[in-house]
Structures are given as C-alpha cells and as structure tokens.
Structure 1
C-alpha cells in the first residue's frame, strides 16, 4: 500500500498553514491502530489539507492514496475516508461549476473522482452501512454514464432498508438530473412522480421524492406540492426513525474552543456554531432543501413550517424552530403567524425545544412584539417554578431558555426583564449576556447604571480576557446615557490609554460622546487624544469633543485633516461629525464635494449626507445622484441612504422609483441584511413613499 507515496514532492506543495510535507504522515496515520491518532490525523487533514473545503494541489495528490485506504477492508474508519473523498470531490466540483471556474488542482480532483466512479459504486454496495452512507452522495456527482447512474440508484433504493440511505439515494438522483439535465432529467422526474405516489414506500422516502422533484424543476412545482408534503409530514408522526439509526452521537457542547483564556462571548459563539450544525430529525436536511427551493414563497413555507412545528417528535419541532428562524431572518413578509407558532413552544415540556424557541424570539426580536406577553409569562413561570436564581441554574437547557427569553423581553423594552437582569449583574454569572440588552431598558437606568459601573470597575484591563467585557459595559452605558456614569467611563479611558487598549479607549470615547455636555470632566483627556497614533482613536476623540463642547472652531481643523486621510473609515467618521455641525461647517463643502467621487460607497454616502446637512437645497442634485448610485451599487448602504432621504424632505422626491423598487425585494437587505436594519429600512421607505406622493 501507498506505493510511490514518498516519491511525490510534498514539500514543494502548500496547504492552509504552509508546507504540505506532513501529508504522508497524515495518510499513514489514517491506518493507525490507535483510534486517537486516526482522529487527530483526520482532523488535521480537514483543518489544513482540505481547509474549509479548499482543494489544494496536495489535496488532489492525496486522492489515490485515500482511495487505497478506502478500498482496503482492513482500514479502520473506512467510512470517514470515503466521506473525506466525497467532500474533496464535491467542493472541487462546486468551484469548477462556479462563476470563475476551478483551479488546476480542482479540475484534476473532479477528473480523478469521475475516473473512479466504479469504485464509488462499489462503496455504495459495501456491507458497512456507514461506508454506503458516505458514498451515495458521490453517485450523483461523479457518474457520467447516465444510464449506469440511473440503474445503480434505482437498484440501491430497492436494496436499502434504511430510511437514511433511501433519502440519500433520492437526493443523488436529483443531483444527477441537475448535473446532466439533457440526459437524466426526464427519467428522474418520472421516477420521482412514481415514487411519491407509491403508498407502499415509506412516507419519508415519498416526501423526498416530492422535494427532489421540486428541486429539479421549481418552475413546474404545482400548488399541490405543499399539500402533499404536509400530508406526508403527518404520516411521519406514525413512522418515526430511532435516532441511533441516523444520528452520530453529538460531541460535548463547547468542545470546539477551550474555555481557558477565551472570553465567555467567544466560547458561547462556538457553542452556537456547534448547536447550529446539529440536526435532530432524519428529514431535516431534506426539509431544508425544500425550503431553499421554495425561497421567497413565504406563505407556503410558513404553512410547511406550521406542520413541522406540530410534529409529535421533539427533534422535528426543534429543527423546525431553527428553520423558522432562517426564514424570518432571511426573507421579508408577514411573519406574525410564524413567530407566534414559535412562541407557543416556550412552554414545551422538552426544555431543549423551549430554549430554541426563546433563542429564536431573541434573534428575531425586531419582529417579536406579538410575542411579548408569551415571553413575559414564560419568564414569570420559570421564576415561580425555579426561583430567582433560574438565570444561573445548573440545568443547561433551562438556563438557556430563561436567559434567551429575558434577553428577548429586554430588547422589547419590557421592564419585566429587569429582575433577571439585576440578578445576573449582581451574581456575575453570565453577566455579559445581561449587559448585551440593558441598553434597551433606559427606564431602569437608576438600577442598571450603578451595577454596570461596578462591573466595569472590577475588570482587570491589563488582562486581554476582559477587553471584550469592558467594551460591552461601555456600549451599554452609552445606550443608557446616564450622567452618573461619567466618572467611571472617564477613569476607564484614563486606564486604557497608557496600556494602549485602543478598542476600549474608542468605546469609552463613544460612551462619553453619548453623554454630551455632562461629560465635560473628561474634556482634557479627550483633547490629548486628538493626535493619538491609533487609527480609530483620533476620529472617536474628535467626535466626542464636538458632542461635549459643541464648538465648531475647536474641531474643524482635525475634521478637515481626517477628510484628507487615506483611510475610508476615518473620512466617514469625520463626515458624520460635520453633518452634526451643519451649516456652521461650510468650510468643509469643497472637500466634501470632491469626495463624492471617491471609489468607496461607505465614503460617498456619509459625505453626501454631510453635504446636504451643511449646504441644503443647493447641494440636493449632487447629493441625490451620489446617494442613489451608492445604494444601487452597494445595497448595504440602504439604511444610511434612506435616513438621509428622510431628512431631505421634498427634495428627495426623485428617489421615489428607487424607494418603490426597494420595497419589491423579497430578501432581507440593508446593513448586514439583519432583521432590525431591514425592518427599519422597509418602514422608512414606506413612510417616505407615502409622504413624497402626498400633495
């Protein structure tokens, strides 16, 4: 085995982290009798040689040896090797079929996989079910002989007793039809239709036929497809598949990153990634594929999700809640029914389902107003059942359910979240989660501000671990804008500067800016930072100085210097302050006019907005032209553009066509394509259209 392995110039090739000279050792380790050594080798292969799906020259050069491993029945973990082979081939194929085509290594990888199609077919007939499961997706991707592919897939379906393998076979047939439509589509579509109507076939497999038929020809999907799918989902409640038949045991939550030395926010982010990657029903991937096919058909997707959320199986409901979040986060539409259906699961007896429902309402808080009372009742019920310490209970799903629900309630500005927030801040347990939302509760600032200040003072800013927490505290204090925090914020700034904690210094400056004239005790410290070397601190200091002192003469020179800077965010920050100054900043007009031709939309938009605030109607034509072009070229600027159009009043009337066009988009847009930004974008656009069309 591995003849010629060491004749290859591995050291002349690279992988994600440098020289590929370690590849022979990794390949040999995949045959080790030590399970831990094999696990580490496979992990390293994915992490370096096939990093995030990348196919390097060394990845392609590994394929013959990986095939040798997979073909040898004495190789341990053969299924993992087959899965790796199919992953390499599928990622290479995606790139080759993409807009820019594949690299030479990717083209060669696809050719190598297609050249071993018969070997893949053999793997799909292997006695080991895990090997078959890993190989079946490759049949649709790498068999070029259509008749051979159709015959193999039909034969495998009749031979496979397991639902999981049957679903993979139906999907592989669709993949083959989509890849070679002129030769395979008609036969595949006829097969799907026959399969979907066969009552002797398991409902999961019939559902797969419905979904894959729609995937192959979405334009031909009839109105009955949703109804058929819903009917089959109802049948599934009586045909559940044991988890051990389809689900690999999940790893421990948080295993992707060590808690030692990592900020809790980072640990939690990795936990969320792991959680998002888990599935709890064998039909989840299938239903996700159906939702992707349905795309902007939000009412149909809502009807499908409503049925998923009614399932008797907690795992199906859990995955249905996550799919509901994906719909609401990605697509516009009236989501009232869907978000209320999710809220009904707050009271689920399955704590993991309850936690996922609360997390979805938190993530979708911008449209979660209809669920306010359900959230408040859920939080109150948890208090009644588990006491005031439920925020930091040792039961992980209950803890998550309570914390997410409290955060969602707080983001709605509801004071019924305050007791749990205070408990978190007083105890210090997961206090960072409470800090994230306190800014939405200004009515409780008298209770929240002292605790935030105490927490901020307790942080050892000489330890990088607490830098993120300090910034969160400062952002919360900025949102609350309570004058009693001036002293602590100023002291934090004074500590951050000599330690060159520039990100903390910027957050402190932003908080002082939010406090305005009441932050006067910090003025001398702020003035000393106007010439700071850090790229971010200087514009933050100028902005804070203007907000506190309000003297254009003191900030005009540094603002003009920032306009002449080569760093885009410094120009944009200066333009934002100039817009606040307004007509008294007329000295900046010539430079702002020149910056309308800058090559970056995130410079053009703030400069155009400043030009309007300073020059008014006389600048309207140039401002409008710049704003609308930037919006067209970069939709992420939409919130800023529309905000300026709103301030322009009747002068913005030429923007009506673009405003109407914006409202016809079906996907979320605006900054980061987030729900909150998109909802504001839609609301402001509708208001503007109505206002500008009313005589």
Structure 2
C-alpha cells in the first residue's frame, strides 16, 4: 500500500503554503492506526492541496493516494477522504492552471470509486457520489450507477445528495420532479424542491407542497457543497426561487405560517431579501408579514418588521400592525412611510437606532423633520457619538433642528459633520461661535508646506452662516487664491489649495465680491480654474470672462474620460455651459456624451438640450443611466431630463416602458451592499420617476 509515494519528487510540488515535502508523512499518517493523528494529517494535507477551492501543482499527484486510502476499508475517516476528492474536482473551484489536471486525476480513479457507491458507510457513498458527479467525462458509467444507488439508498441525507449528483450530471432528467412525491423522506423532497428551483423547469404545486412538508419541522438538509453558500439551505432555496417572483412569495407565505419557529425566522429573514428584489412579491407578502409582527418568537416579529421596512410603500397597509409592534425595526418602517405614529414612538433610548436605519445618504434626508426627533436627540449622548448618517440628517433638517444644538456642542471637539450641522442650523447655533472662532484663529489660514491646504474651512464658513461674519472665510479665501498663483502651468491641483479656495468662494457667495480682482487675475493666468470661473459668473454675470475657462475645461475633460479619477470636472463645466447659454459650446459638450461612466453623460446631455432644444444624440446616453442594473448614480437627473424633453424623447419610449414594467427592482446590488434599511422606498422613487418620464413623452405632460 502506498508503495509509489517515494517515487514522487515532492520537493518540486507546491501547495497553499509552499513545497509539500511533508506530503508522504501526512499520507502515511492517514493510513496509520491512530485515528486522531490520521484526522490531523488529513486536515493539514487538505489545507495544502485544496485551500478554499484553489488547487496547486501538488493537488493532482495526491489524488491516487487518496483514492487508494479510500478503497482500503480499514482507513480512518473515509467519508472525509471521499468528500476531499470531490472538493478537489469541484466545478466551483478557482480557475488555476492546475484545475484540469486535478479533475483528470480524479476522473482517472472513477473505476476505483464506482464500487464504493455500495459502501456500508453512508458518508462514503455521499462523498463518492459527489466526486463522480464532478467528473462528467465518465458520465456514461457514473450516471447509471448513481441512479441505481438512488433507487436503493436508505439514508435520507445521502439520498438527497445522490439526487443532487444525478441532477448535476443529467439536468434534463425528471428525477427531481419524481422525488417531490409524498412517499419520499423530508430531506429528499426538500432537495428535489431546491433542485427544481435552480432549474429552468416550471415550479409546481407539488414543489410547494414538498417545501411545506420538507421544512415542516425545521431545516431538513445538512449543509454541504450541494446546497450552496447561503446562510442555510432554506435561504439558498429562496435565492433560487427569487427569479420566479410570485412563486417565491407563495412559498414564503406558507413558511411564515410554519409551526417551527426557526423556519418562520428563516422565512421572515428571506422575505426581506425577496421584497427588495421582486416588486410583485411585496403586496403578496405584506399581509402575512403584518401578522408575523405578533409572532410568539420576538425574533420572527423583528425580522418581519425589517422585511416590511424593505417593502416601501407596499407596506402601508401594515402600518397599524407596525405601530402595535413598536420594535425599532417597526418604528423605522413607520418613519420611512411618513406615518405620524412612527415619530410618536421615538424616545431618547431608541432614536439613534431608529434614525440610523432610515438615513445614510448625504444628498438629502430620507425623512422630514419631526419635533419628536429633535426632543429625543436632545436627550441622547453628545453628537460626537452619533453615526455620520444622523449628522447628515440633522444638517439636512437645517434650522428646524435647533433643539439638538446642545447635543452638538456637548462633546470635547467639533467633528466636521457636526460643524456642518451647526452651520445648517444657522443663528440658533450661536453658542458654537466661541469654539468655532478659537479653531479658526488657532493657526494661520494655510498649512506651512506642500500640499498646501486651508485650515478649518468648515469652521470659517460656519462662522458666516451662524454669526453673519464673513471675515475668517474671506481672509482664508484670499490667502488660498494667492497661493494658486504659484501653480506651474502643467501642474495639477494637488499641491495648491484649489478645492479649499472653491469651497470658500461657494460658501461666501456675494461676500466674495472683494476678491474679484484676484479671481480675474487667476482666470487670465490659469484657464482651467473652473471653480473660480463659476464664482466670477455668479458675482458678475459676465459670460465673456468665464467662457474661455469653460471651453478649456470641456476640452480637458473630453481628453480624460478614460481616466479612473479625472482631474477636470466635465460635469461642472457642462452645468456652467448650460447657464451661460452659448450654443457655440455644444461641439465641446458632445464628446462628454460618450463618457463610459455616469460622471458627465447626463450633465452634458442636459446642457446640449437646453442650449439647442434638440434631442439628437441624447437618448442613448440618458438610457445608459437608467436601464442598467443597477442604474447609474445620476438616474434621477436622467429621468428628470427625459421628462423635460417630453415628446422629443420619443425614441426612448420602448426601453423606458421596459424599465417601468420590469418585475425586478434595479438596485439589487446596492441593496445587498448597503447596511441602511428601507431601500424599497428608493425603488418606489425610481419607478415613479420612470412612469413620469413615460407619461411626459407620451402625452407631453
């Protein structure tokens, strides 16, 4: 036994951790009498030759020895060895240059593996079935053998996995449909339903009944390669059924009424994913989720509330049940629906959890201010302990949020987002002025060495917005503009305080008028200072002073469309071009329509439309923003422009109708990444914008 071990030059073979010179000793230990030592050796060898689905130069050479050990009935842990052979050949493995050789090595052992389908150990039968299924070149021999074993297999878990192996090799066979029948054990029926859900075959009432029976008393399937990488086989079933929409919803409705609390928990958790993805599933699931809010299991109730939060406007009929539930997820759902019972349930103890679940985007609040939010936030810990999403929300609320000023000032320091919130609140935050002035006066306007930056931009602008004093911001802007003169002609913006100068000028508004001479001098010397051109335009309205800069930046932006992080803001140049109203800029805007990213397409299309009133060449760039899944981040602006264009955008109608009638939410990828709940409301906004655009184009409304 293992006589050929020493004939292999193991020093030239590598595994996950380098040369596998210890492979002979590990394989011999696996054949030894000590079960514990054999298990340790197997784990070490498996980690080296099949590490997280990656195979190596040593992987194929170990296969014959593993097969030899497996065939030797006295070897310890034979089931694990059989599964290891399957994992080495598995089709989900990383595509390294060794994959083909490894699969060929396992295929070469098929004749030694086939008799083991009748082994006394069900684990060995299971593992061998897995290994054979991953060797399709021997399907002619292995498929009949697997079908024969399936017909006599008595172990339910093993039978379920052999069924999966046969379906893998023969996806067109009807074995899965036959295995749905009531005379099969629960694991087999559950496996058959899962296999059917993954296939292109129609879902059936028998499959739904198999799910009910299979999961009646809990999870029927033990985790393994066949049942995917989801949190559980049930989650894997829901993921596979998700594309079927209403079929999936019907299955979840049934499972939410299961007598098994763990199954109801899994079903409620899965419902949150399904209502994110499939629009038609939302109204079907909402009634049963509303009932589940009162489930004896508190976890089921909270998961049901989370799912309702994800359902968007479709959850409105459940508002009463959500109010009675009064858990944090239920309050989040109510708040996001704009139901007044939501704010009424907010307290100092739950407000941070509630608001952190419904906010998260700096572009604006998801919810309107309510005095209950201010009162609750005013009784919490200092704002320095709040999440950024809540600070953004307070800033978006602006002066209405004056009740939270004491909490914003309660910490030892003033974080940038806290300063922004104070500035947005305005004069009611006057108590912050001494600390803001201390920060602004604590150092000179600029850092002392390159890259030069302005100290405390936000604090200086906050002093203006709260106290009406433009002095600190004006002084810093003057110093920043002076430093911009030092930029070399071919140099970028990194070493000079350009961005800070623009932020200060934008914030100063009319108060920046004393700086016009410096701004004009810089525009003459540096034609790419777009932010300064924008400030000059707003202060003077003199198009002739800023048009040369807009032209230059449009040219530079067109040349940088393929850059990952373009230096020149074509989108801002396009917006300013639209304001200038000069049709001669259109030839410079047109190249930006070909931007492969969402950065410039919509701003350029908007500028061209407003300068010419013609839709030629604009439809395709706008559709690129709204038709992908997920859409571009300027989708709302694209729909707004299509609505503005009206009948002139008639060429977009077929694809826009497809967007408006699509059964799936387009933001699935965003949903899966985002920790913020209630994103079904974003889908509602997307759908409403699409329908508005279609109506405007069809009827000129």
- TM-score class normalised by the smaller sequence: 0.5 to 0.7
Asked if residue 246 in structure 1 is aligned to residue 229 in structure 2, the reply is no
* Match in the other structure for 2:12: 9
* Match in the other structure for 1:352: 299
Give the deviation of 1:320 after TM superposition: 1.5
- Preserved CA contact (<8 Å) 1:424 1:434: no
- Superposed, 1:387-536 pairs within 5 Å as 403=353, 407-408=357-358, 415=370, 425-426=381-382, 445-448=401-404, 451-452=407-408, 454=410, 457=413, 473=417, 481-483=424-426, 522=473, 527=480, 534=494
- Superposed, 1:610-649 pairs within 5 Å as 610-612=606-608, 615-617=611-613, 620-628=615-623, 636-637=631-632, 638-649=635-646
Could you state the TM-score of these two structures normalised by the residue count of structure 2?
A: 0.66
Which of these residues, 633, 645, 661, is aligned with residue 658 of structure 2?
A: 661
Give the deviation of 1:686 after TM superposition: 0.6
The 2-side partners of 1:155 and 1:348 are apart by 43
Asked if residue 21 in structure 1 is aligned to residue 18 in structure 2, the reply is yes
- Preserved CA contact (<8 Å) 1:559 1:574: no
Max Rg structure: 2
Give the deviation of 1:348 after TM superposition: 3.1
- Residues 455, 617 of structure 1: alpha-carbon distance in 2 compared, 3 angstrom cutoff: farther
- Residues 105, 332 of structure 1: alpha-carbon distance in 2 compared, 3 angstrom cutoff: farther
The 2-side partners of 1:603 and 1:440 are apart by 24
The 2-side partners of 1:649 and 1:315 are apart by 52
Asked if residue 155 in structure 1 is aligned to residue 149 in structure 2, the reply is yes
- Preserved CA contact (<8 Å) 2:657 2:694: yes
The 1-side partners of 2:658 and 2:459 are apart by 35
Secondary structure of the residue aligned to 1:445 is: helix
Give the deviation of 1:7 after TM superposition: 3.0
- CA displacement 1:579-613 (0-9 Å, x = unmatched): 26742274865432333344x24345144245237
Secondary structure of the residue aligned to 2:617 is: helix
* Match in the other structure for 1:552: 534
- Preserved CA contact (<8 Å) 2:234 2:266: no
Could you state the TM-score of these two structures normalised by the residue count of structure 1?
A: 0.67
Unaligned runs of 5+ in 1: 96-101, 179-184, 249-275, 393-401, 460-469
The 2-side partners of 1:29 and 1:430 are apart by 54
The 2-side partners of 1:61 and 1:653 are apart by 64
* Match in the other structure for 1:195: 179
The 2-side partners of 1:150 and 1:575 are apart by 63
Secondary structure of the residue aligned to 1:200 is: coil
The 1-side partners of 2:277 and 2:422 are apart by 27
Give the deviation of 1:575 after TM superposition: 1.0
- Residues 414, 657 of structure 1: alpha-carbon distance in 2 compared, 3 angstrom cutoff: same
Give the deviation of 1:684 after TM superposition: 0.9
Give the deviation of 1:313 after TM superposition: 1.2
- CA displacement 1:384-442 (0-9 Å, x = unmatched): xx9978659xxxxxxxxx94797259955585677776666459878568668767877
* Match in the other structure for 1:167: 160
- Preserved CA contact (<8 Å) 1:489 1:508: no
The 1-side partners of 2:56 and 2:436 are apart by 50
The 1-side partners of 2:627 and 2:298 are apart by 45
Give the deviation of 1:353 after TM superposition: 2.8
Give the deviation of 1:694 after TM superposition: 1.7
Give the deviation of 1:316 after TM superposition: 1.3
- Preserved CA contact (<8 Å) 2:383 2:409: no
* Match in the other structure for 2:699: 694
The structure whose RCO (Cα within 8 Å, separation 6+) is larger is 2
- Preserved CA contact (<8 Å) 1:361 1:368: yes
- CA displacement 1:289-333 (0-9 Å, x = unmatched): 4x15xx2x3222211110011111122122212322232223333
The 2-side partners of 1:561 and 1:509 are apart by 30
* Match in the other structure for 2:342: none
* Match in the other structure for 2:542: none
- Preserved CA contact (<8 Å) 1:639 1:681: yes
The 1-side partners of 2:658 and 2:496 are apart by 36
- Superposed, 1:354-373 pairs within 5 Å as 354-363=301-310, 368-373=315-320
Secondary structure of the residue aligned to 1:596 is: helix
Asked if residue 308 in structure 1 is aligned to residue 255 in structure 2, the reply is yes
Asked if residue 336 in structure 1 is aligned to residue 283 in structure 2, the reply is yes
- Residues 569, 654 of structure 1: alpha-carbon distance in 2 compared, 3 angstrom cutoff: farther
Which of these residues, 258, 267, 292, is aligned with residue 320 of structure 1?
A: 267
The 1-side partners of 2:78 and 2:448 are apart by 53
Secondary structure of the residue aligned to 2:639 is: helix
- CA displacement 1:600-645 (0-9 Å, x = unmatched): 2434514424523762515x32333543466668863344432332
**Paired residue total:** 600
Secondary structure of the residue aligned to 1:658 is: helix
- Preserved CA contact (<8 Å) 2:133 2:166: yes
Secondary structure of the residue aligned to 1:335 is: helix
Unaligned runs of 5+ in 2: 31-35, 332-344, 360-364, 511-532, 538-545, 672-679
- Preserved CA contact (<8 Å) 1:332 1:667: yes
The 1-side partners of 2:169 and 2:597 are apart by 42
- Residues 590, 233 of structure 1: alpha-carbon distance in 2 compared, 3 angstrom cutoff: closer
RMSD in angstroms over aligned alpha carbons?
5.5
- Preserved CA contact (<8 Å) 1:670 1:681: no
Which of these residues, 678, 681, 685, is aligned with residue 680 of structure 1?
A: 685
- Preserved CA contact (<8 Å) 1:332 1:668: yes
* Match in the other structure for 2:98: 105
- Residues 55, 158 of structure 1: alpha-carbon distance in 2 compared, 3 angstrom cutoff: same
- Preserved CA contact (<8 Å) 1:596 1:604: yes
Secondary structure of the residue aligned to 2:166 is: helix
The 1-side partners of 2:694 and 2:366 are apart by 29
* Match in the other structure for 1:272: none
Asked if residue 206 in structure 1 is aligned to residue 203 in structure 2, the reply is no
* Match in the other structure for 2:90: 90
- Superposed, 1:110-121 pairs within 5 Å as 110-118=103-111
The 2-side partners of 1:305 and 1:455 are apart by 47
- Residues 388, 627 of structure 1: alpha-carbon distance in 2 compared, 3 angstrom cutoff: closer
